[in-house]
Amino acid sequence: MILKIAFRNIFRQKRRTILTALAMIVGFMLSSVFIGWSDGIYSNIIDMFTRNRIGHIQVHQEGYLDRPSLYKNITVYESIGNTIQNNEGVEAWTPRLYAAGLGSVGEKSTAVRVVGIDLMREQNATKFSQKVIEGRPFQDIALNEAVIGNGLKKILKAEIGSDLVIFSQAADGSIANDLYKIVGITDSGDDITDRTTCYLNLSAAQELFVLEGRIHELVVIVSDINHVGRVTSSIKDTLRGLTLEVLPWQEVAKSFYNAMQADKQGDSIGRFVIILIVAMGVLNTVLMSVLERTREYGLLRAVGTKPIQIFGLVLCEVVIIAFASIVIGAAIGTTINYLLSVYGIEFIDGFTFGGMKFDKLHAEVNIRTLIIPTFTVMLSALLVSLYPAIKAARILPAKAMRTR
Amino acid sequence: MENTQKTDVIVTEEITKVYDPDRIPIFALNGINLTIQSGELTAIVGPSGSGKTTFLNIISGLDTPTEGKVWLAGKVLSEMSGNELSDYRRDNIGFIFQAYNLIPVLTVRENVEYIMLLAGVPKTERHKRVTAMLESVGLAGVEDRLPTKLSGGQQQRVAIARAMVSEPSIVLADEPTANLDSKTGSDLLEMMRKLNSDTGMTFIFSTHDPMVMESAKRLITLRDGKIDSDETK
C-alpha cells in the first residue's frame, strides 16, 4: 500500500514530478556524456601514444629500460617474436634497434637517435608509412636510405634527397659512420621524437652498429588495449627462462600513465558538479512536497503508520522518479555517446597533447557511461531526500493535522 | 450482547497542555483528571477553545501533554516509543476527524482497508469486512471513487467506516456530525449506539451537536481547559 500511495503521489503534482525528473535526467545525461567523452579522449590519447611510440607491451633484455645500452640486446628475436605472436590477443610485433649518434647534413650537425626498424613489421604494427608526410618510406631492401623526423629536417636544414652522415660508435668499439640518402620525412604527432629521430632499415642499422641479428626492443601490439595485462602475463609465461623483461605500456611509460590517472581524477570535480545539479533540483522539490503534505503525513501517523513507513514512503517516491529518469537519461545519454563515438568532433587546427597532435576525437560507449551516472543520480537523489524523509517521519500527528 | 466487565481504558492525571509556553502561554488543558471505562459512550462538550480536540489528541497519543500522565489500557503513553504508539493506535483506536482526513490518492475501499492492511489482516478478510462496513454506512457502489469525487457527508462516512472497520476498542470522534445532514447524523449515531451496546466498544466524542449529547451516556463539559461538569445519565 505504501508503494501504491508513493506511485499515485507522483502523479498528483505532475509539474513538480517533471521538474524533479528533469533534474535527474539532465544530471544522468551530463554525467554519461561526460564519462563517454573523457573515456573516449583518454582512449584516443593512449591509443595514439602506444601505437605511435611505445606499443602496448615491450620486451627488452633485463635492465635495458633502466639503463639503455647498445650491449643489452636481444638475439634470435625472430623466433622470440614468433613465439609472442602465438599468444592470444597479440595483433603484431616489431623489432627495433636503438643507438645514439651525430647526424650531419652539409655543415649542420645535431645529436640523433637512430632507430632501426623492420619496415614491413613496423607497417603492420604502427602503420609507419602513415607518418611519412613527405617523400616515401625507405625501400625494404635498400640499405642506405633514411627517413628523418620533421623537426630534425628543420634543424639540419635537410631536404628529400639530402645526404645524411651518421657518426657513432659501433658495438665492437669501431667507429660507425655511413652516408644515407634522406627519402622521407615523418610527422609522428610527437614533436620530441620528430626532432631527434632518424629511421634506418633494421639491417642497415645492424650493419652500422655491428649488431647483426640483434635488436634492443621488441614492440607488441595487442588487439584490445584493455587486455594488455592478461596478454603481458601470457607472454611472460611463454618467455620464462629467458633473461628478458616483459612490460606493459603502463610500466614502460610510467609518467605518462600517472599523468593520465591524475587527469582522470579530475573527472570527480565534474561529477561533483553534476551531483550538485541533481541534489539541488531534488532537494527543492522533495522538501516542498513534504511541506505541502505535512497534514497527510500527520494523518497517516495518526491511523497507525509507523515513522519508518513514512520515511520509506518519501524515499519510495524519489526512487520511482529516479528509476524512470535513469531509464530516460540512459537512452538519451547513450544515443549522444554513440553519435559522438561514430562521428566524433573535428578540430579545425587540431591540438597537441603530450607532444601528440589530434585533429578529431571520438567519445566511447562503455559500461561506465551507464553505471557511474546511475549510482550518481540514485545516490545523490536518495541522499538529499533523507532530510525531508526524516522530517516527515518525525512529524507529530496532532501538530501536522493542524496544518492547513 | 452488552459487555458487563468494566475496566479503566483511559485514565488521565493532572493533564496540562500549554501552547507557546515561552511567549504568551495559552492553557488549552489545565489539570484534567479523568477516568473513562470500557463500554462508555462519552461526549466531551464545551465552547470553542475549551480544549475538547486537544484532550482527544492527548488521550490518543497524537499530541503530548506539557504536564501530567495518560494511561491507556494500563500503559503510560509518555513511556511508549513512536512505533509502540503507532501500533497501539492502529490496533486499539479508531479516529473520526472533523475534517474527514482521508488519504486523497486512495479510493474509498483503499482508505477503509488501509489500517487493516497495516495490521496484516488477510486479503479475503479485509475485503469481506470493508464491503460489509461500506454497506452499513451507505457507501455501497462508490468503493472505487477517490475522496475528491465524494460529497462532504460521504467523505465523513468513509472516515467513520475507516475508524470502525478494524473493530477498535476505543473510537475517538471529533465533531463527527458537524458536516452531516441531520438524517445522516442521526443514522450514524444510531449505528454507533448499536456498536456500543453490542460490542462494548468505547466511544468518546467531542461535540456541539445536541443530538450527540442526547445519545451519550456520560457528558463531560470542559471550560477554559478544565472540567466544568461530569454527568452520567
Q: How high is the pLDDT of residue B145? A: 93
Asked if residue A309 and residue A389 are part of one domain, the reply reads yes
- Spell out which chain A residues touch chain B, with contact meaning CB-CB distance below 8 angstroms: 1, 4-5, 8-9, 12, 295-296, 299-309, 396-399, 401
Asked if residue A83 and residue A157 are part of one domain, the reply reads yes
Do the chains contact at B64 and A401, CB–CB below 8 Å? no
> For residue B149, is pLDDT > 80?
yes
Indicate the number of domains in chain A: 2
Query: Domain span at residue A313?
Result: 2-50+257-401
Residue A348 lies in a domain: yes
- Nearest-by-Cβ selection for A304 from B64, B86, B106: B86
Residue B69 bridge partners (DSSP): B13
Q: How high is the pLDDT of residue B219? A: 92
* pLDDT level of residue B1 (50, 70, 90 thresholds): very low
User: Tens digits of per-residue pLDDT, B57-72?
Assistant: 898 888 889 999 998 8
Residue A57 lies in a domain: no
User: Tens digits of per-residue pLDDT, B83-118?
Assistant: 888 888 888 888 888 777 888 889 999 999 988 888
> For residue B3, is pLDDT > 50?
no
Most confident range (mean pLDDT) of A1-5, A37-41, A141-145, A264-268 is: A37-41
Q: What is the mean pLDDT of chain A?
A: 87
Asked if residue A110 and residue A160 are part of one domain, the reply reads yes
Which residue in this structure is represented by grid cell 631527434?
A: A196
Asked if residue A178 and residue A208 are part of one domain, the reply reads yes
* pLDDT level of residue A404 (50, 70, 90 thresholds): low
Rounded CA-CA distance B206/B184 in Å is 18
Rounded CA-CA distance A205/A142 in Å is 12
Asked if residue A203 and residue A320 are part of one domain, the reply reads no
Q: Check: CB of residue B227 under 8 Å from CB of residue B53.
A: no
> For residue A114, is pLDDT > 90?
yes
Give the residue from A195, A210, A242 where a domain finishes.
A242
User: Tens digits of per-residue pLDDT, A345-373?
Assistant: 888 777 666 556 677 888 888 898 999 88
Q: How high is the pLDDT of residue B182? A: 82
Asked if residue A266 and residue A229 are part of one domain, the reply reads no
CB contacts of A299 in chain B (<8 Å) are 97, 101, 103
Question: A350 versus B77: which is more confidently predicted?
Answer: B77
Question: Of A45-54, A387-396, B31-40, where does mean pLDDT reach its minimum?
Answer: A45-54
Asked if residue A204 and residue A76 are part of one domain, the reply reads yes
* pLDDT level of residue A190 (50, 70, 90 thresholds): confident
Give the residue from A208, A242, A276 where a domain finishes.
A242
Asked if residue A306 and residue A190 are part of one domain, the reply reads no
Residue A249 lies in a domain: no
Number of CB pairs < 8 Å for A and B? Answer: 71
Give the residue from A213, A242, A271 where a domain finishes.
A242
A359 — phi, psi (to 5°)?
Answer: -105, -30
Residue A116 lies in a domain: yes
Residue A211 lies in a domain: yes
Q: Check: CB of residue B156 under 8 Å from CB of residue B180.
A: yes
Q: Does B169 touch chain A (CB under 8 A)?
A: no
Asked if residue A113 and residue A238 are part of one domain, the reply reads yes
Do the chains contact at B114 and A396, CB–CB below 8 Å? no
Asked if residue A131 and residue A211 are part of one domain, the reply reads yes
Residue of A nearest to B90 (CA): A304
Do the chains contact at A397 and B118, CB–CB below 8 Å? no
pTM score = 0.71
Residue A250 lies in a domain: no
Q: Percentage of residues in chain A with pLDDT exceeding 70? A: 97
Asked if residue A386 and residue A306 are part of one domain, the reply reads yes
CB contacts of B86 in chain A (<8 Å) are 301, 304-307
Q: Write the DSSP string, A344-357.
A: -EEEEEEEEETTEE
List CB contacts of A102: < 8 A, sequence separation 6 or more: A109, A110, A111, A112, A166, A167, A168
CB contacts of A12 in chain B (<8 Å) are 104-105
* pLDDT level of residue B2 (50, 70, 90 thresholds): very low
Rounded CA-CA distance A191/A77 in Å is 30
Q: How high is the pLDDT of residue A81? A: 92
Q: How high is the pLDDT of residue A180? A: 93
Q: Check: CB of residue A344 under 8 Å from CB of residue A361.
A: yes
> For residue A100, is pLDDT > 60?
yes
Question: Of A196-205, A226-235, B44-53, B188-197, where does mean pLDDT reach its minimum?
Answer: B188-197
Residue A159 lies in a domain: yes
What is the 3 state secondary structure string of chain B? CCCCCCCEEEEEEEEEEEECCCCCCEEEEEEEEEEEECCCEEEEECCCCCCHHHHHHHHCCCCCCCEEEEEECCEEHHHCCHHHHHHHHHHHEEEECCCCCCCCCCCHHHHHHHHHHHHCCCHHHHHHHHHHHHHHCCCCCCCCCCHHHCCHHHHHHHHHHHHHHCCCCEEEEECCCCCCCHHHHHHHHHHHHHHHHHHCCEEEEEECCHHHHHHCCEEEEEECCEEEEEEEC
**Strand, coil or helix: what is A340?**
helix
CB contacts of A295 in chain B (<8 Å) are 101
Do the chains contact at B101 and A12, CB–CB below 8 Å? no
Asked if residue A210 and residue A141 are part of one domain, the reply reads yes
Most confident range (mean pLDDT) of A95-109, A273-287, A338-352 is: A95-109
Rounded CA-CA distance A221/A89 in Å is 9
Q: Percentage of residues in chain A with pLDDT exceeding 90? A: 40
Do the chains contact at B86 and A9, CB–CB below 8 Å? no
Residue A225 lies in a domain: yes
